[in-house]
Amino acid sequence: MLGGIVIQRKRFTALEFLASGLLSLGLAVFTLADVSVQPRYSVTGVVLIVGALCADAAIGNVQEKTMKGSNVHAAEMIHKSYSMGSVLVLLVCVLHGELLPALDVCSENGWVDTAGPILLFSVCGYLGVNVVLELVQTFGALTTVTVTTLRKAVSMIVSFVLFPKPFAMGYVWGGFVILGGIATNFYAKQQKKKKAATENLLPTHTAQPSTLAKRASMLLSSSGASSTSYNQPSGVAGSSSGTAII
């Protein structure tokens, strides 16, 4: 939301600010509950998470502005973004000496068993990014972030089923807060649609006085023209009759 205000100069209603705050608070409660169950704290991790959040706030709005302003398709956006990212990741792997050990692991354990899951993960990621960019282009960055936040919450819930872990009531309260944020966002969207529909009807009503004035001026001009055309034949007839008398 802050990225939309700074980058795209968007304006949001109070309900949308409330929905964004509830979603952020819900995820914070989830994180605090996770820390209380499994206490692991790292300053580097916090800095990286904050940086990732700032980049995530900017990239969605930049993508929306680029796709809508320059009429760029989602496939082209993915190609340009990830081709540059792949080159940067490759350079980092080479500079840190991680590329050759990774290739050795793949050759030792079999390319099918190691590269196969990596390829499957890449295909799933590509499909997911396509869906996200279509959401950005169709509904905007704020709605897309709301959907991805809900996906993260669902992933956390599913992780409890697939990978049992210690439970805390903070997960429940965080889930309720996230649901409240989603409901508030949905209500805000409905109110925006109603307001837009009302504003679309207003020009027709406000245009009526001007339309009536135009019609009145047209009637006056037509009546003036008819009176002129009515007086003219009499003059002509008079002159002709006078000529006849002479």
Residue 160 lies in a domain: yes
Residue 209 lies in a domain: no
| Rounded-to-integer distance, Cα 97 and Cα 224, Å | 93
Per-residue pLDDT reduced to its tens digit, 41-87: 677 877 887 788 778 777 777 877 887 777 777 778 888 878 888 89
| Rounded-to-integer distance, Cα 149 and Cα 160, Å | 17
What local confidence, expressed as pLDDT, does residue 211 receive? 53
Given the structure tokens 């704020």, which residue do they identify?
142
Q: Give per-residue burial for 130-163: e unless 16+ CB within 10 Å, then b.
A: eebbebbbeebbbebbbebbbeebeebeeeeeee
Determine the distance from the C-alpha atom of residue 41 to the mean position of all C-alpha atoms in its chain, rounded to a whole number. Answer: 33
Residue 208 lies in a domain: no
The stretch 75-103 carries a mean pLDDT of: 86
Percent of the chain with pLDDT over 90: 1
Name residues whose C-beta falls within 8 Å of residue 90's C-beta, 6 or more positions apart in sequence: 99
Residue 221 lies in a domain: no
pTM: 0.52
Residue 148 lies in a domain: yes
| Rounded-to-integer distance, Cα 214 and Cα 218, Å | 6
What local confidence, expressed as pLDDT, does residue 246 receive? 31
Residue 53 lies in a domain: yes
Number of domains in the chain: 1
Nearest to 147 by CA among 136, 157, 163: 136
Q: Residue 214: which pLDDT band, with cuts at 50, 70 and 90?
A: low
| Rounded-to-integer distance, Cα 195 and Cα 141, Å | 21
| Rounded-to-integer distance, Cα 176 and Cα 183, Å | 10
Q: How confident is the prediction for the chain on average, in pLDDT? A: 74
Owning domain of residue 74: 2-200
What local confidence, expressed as pLDDT, does residue 224 receive? 52
Quick check: 7 pLDDT over 80?
no
Residue 214 lies in a domain: no
Please list the alpha-helical segments (H only) found in the chain: 2-8, 14-37, 43-70, 74-95, 99-109, 111-139, 141-162, 169-245
Percent of the chain with pLDDT over 70: 78
Residue 164 lies in a domain: yes
